[in-house]
Amino acid sequence: MKGVLKAVKKGRGGVDIAHNKNTAEMPVVRITPPPFVEIPMRQSIGAECEPTVKAGDRVKIGQLIGDSAAYVSAPVYASVSGTVTGIKDIELSTGVVSKTVIIESDGLMEEDSFQPPKVSDTKSFIAAIRASGLVGLGGAGFPAHVKLNLPQEAEIDTLIINAAECEPYITVDYRECLENSENIMRGVSAVKKYLNIDRVVIAVENNKPKAIEILSEIADKSGENVRVMQLKSRYPQGAEKMIILSATGRKIPPGKLPSDVGCVVMNVASIAFVGRHLATGKPLVSRSMTVDGSAVKNPMNVRVPVGTMMDYIIDFCGGFTCEPEKIVCGGPMMGTALIGINFPVLKGNNALLAFCEGDCAVKKETDCIRCGRCAASCPLSLVPTNVEKFLKAKDVKKLKHAGAAVCMECGSCAYSCPAGKPLVQYMRLAKAMIREGEAK
Ligand code: SF4
Ligand code: SF4
């Protein structure tokens, strides 16, 4: 055994938070097929797709139902077999409105026929990734073919597989490591080969010893330059900038990308999907999600067709134990609070959490006591109190100078603030003010 690597460099800031990985030892369960799905055409940070089907069409799983000519976009596929009953505009959990294809399931879950894609070089590999419909499964929603289509001048020497999963509650990446390590390694080998990357680091937090063991074994067997790296379990270890620093010691300068420091970072579920797709040709039609929180009767990890309604998923998990005070799509630190559960699951949704009153109390805001904890916990060395001051003074120049635009909205500052200041919201407002100022 080659042994597990230790982090190259320790990042600054961050917070120690309760992990609450209650579902870690629960294998992913395939949900019973939903009676219908609502599949939005806007599932990436790129352009909205145009439906390629119309009401009355019969579809099978994996059949194309939406695509776009725009480069930054990813095609969308049917996730159940059945009949298209309509196309309508709906509001998504992200707050945006999207054209959405409604498919009534025939209950058969019949698949289209798939062939493994023919991949022989970088171009055909990128084309296969685009055709698969993959967007970042860690929640970013960035089309994977765009991320992997590196500029010619980029000198990439390290592929980092992000298996840190530092957000509390979420355990689907961990389950991916345990249940799909072969696909992870197949995906790793393909990206390494077709992007001509010399070495691979699979970065895992040290609170996941089983994942470290399994991945180390399979990395050793691969005979390739692939090593597992054990990272200190500290939020937000899985943030792109943090994981690059921990794995390579390199800092991404403001406004630059991972490729500018020789790295490509992929989420572990995304790389497992790449491995599976290359072996089968099946596009992205379902995803794994952690369903947890004190308001959920039977927390579990589920595999759901894209477009399944969240209320159907909650019913599958036994319903609510109370009237939830807070519902979150994603993790409690960086997820989006929802006003309800009448939303379809998107490709990038990795968790649905719901909490009873008392388990998600929001601190009452009081005056700043100038303790400095917010600045001390910021991994990017920002000073949130300065940003608040410049925001209130509407001073765009000083906001830019304070680095508000690079904030990754990790929430470490707000989490550590004893005065309950909504510091992340200030950061978001500051970024919007900077954008507006630049647009003038
Ligand atoms: S200022 Fe931004 S990057 Fe820094 S801790 Fe707060 S949310 Fe995270
Ligand atoms: S952590 Fe809160 S109370 Fe302390 S300096 Fe920052 S804003 Fe003020």
From CA 183, how far away is CA 166, in angstroms rounded? Answer: 22
Whether 412 and 419 have beta carbons less than 8 Å apart is answered as: no
CATH code of the region 5-24+116-280: 3.40.50.11540
Report the alpha-carbon angle 17-23-29, nearest 5: 150
Query: Does residue 239 carry a pLDDT above 80?
Result: yes
> pLDDT class for 139, splitting at 50, 70, 90?
confident
Counting atoms of ligand 1 from 1, which one is nearest the CA of 408? 3
**Residue pLDDT, tens place only, 7-32:** 877 778 999 999 999 999 999 999 99
Q: Would you give the end-to-end CA distance of the chain in angstroms?
A: 58
**What local confidence, expressed as pLDDT, does residue 431 receive?**
95
Query: Does residue 1 carry a pLDDT above 70?
Result: no
- Residue 111, helix vs strand vs coil: strand
Distance 427 CA to ligand 2 centre (A): 14
Q: Is the CB of 214 under 6 A from ligand 1?
A: no
From CA 404, how far away is CA 392, in angstroms rounded? Answer: 13
Distance 427 CA to ligand 1 centre (A): 8
From CA 332, how far away is CA 337, in angstroms rounded? Answer: 9
Nearest residue by C-alpha to atom 4 in ligand 2: 371
Whether 300 and 278 have beta carbons less than 8 Å apart is answered as: no
Q: Average pLDDT of the chain? A: 95
Please give the average per-residue pLDDT across 24-42, as a whole number. Answer: 98
Q: Which ligand is nearest to the CA of 427?
A: 1
**What local confidence, expressed as pLDDT, does residue 439 receive?**
64
**Residue pLDDT, tens place only, 419-439:** 999 999 999 999 999 998 776
Q: Is the CB of 404 under 6 A from ligand 1?
A: no
Q: Is the CB of 424 under 6 A from ligand 1?
A: yes
Q: Is the CB of 236 under 6 A from ligand 1?
A: no
Q: Which amino acid is at 313?
A: I
Q: Is the CB of 382 under 6 A from ligand 1?
A: yes
**Residue pLDDT, tens place only, 332-346:** 999 999 999 999 999
Distance 15 CA to ligand 2 centre (A): 15
- Percentage above 70 pLDDT, the chain: 99
Which residues are bridge partners to 203 per DSSP?
162, 229
> pLDDT class for 5, splitting at 50, 70, 90?
confident
Contacts of 137 (CB under 8 A, 6+ apart): 267, 269, 270, 273, 287, 347, 348, 350
**Residue pLDDT, tens place only, 349-397:** 999 999 999 888 777 899 999 999 999 999 999 999 999 999 999 999 9
Query: Does residue 160 carry a pLDDT above 70?
Result: yes
Whether 48 and 41 have beta carbons less than 8 Å apart is answered as: yes
**Residue pLDDT, tens place only, 254-295:** 889 999 999 999 999 999 999 999 999 999 999 999 999 999
**What local confidence, expressed as pLDDT, does residue 51 receive?**
98
Give the strand order in the sheet containing 326-329.
29-30, 300-305, 286-292, 351-355, 326-329, 336-338
- Percentage above 90 pLDDT, the chain: 90
Q: For the chain, what are the domain ranges? A: 5-24+116-280, 373-439
Tokens of 41: 């055409």
Distance 355 CA to ligand 2 centre (A): 26
**What local confidence, expressed as pLDDT, does residue 30 receive?**
97
Nearest residue by C-alpha to atom 3 in ligand 2: 368
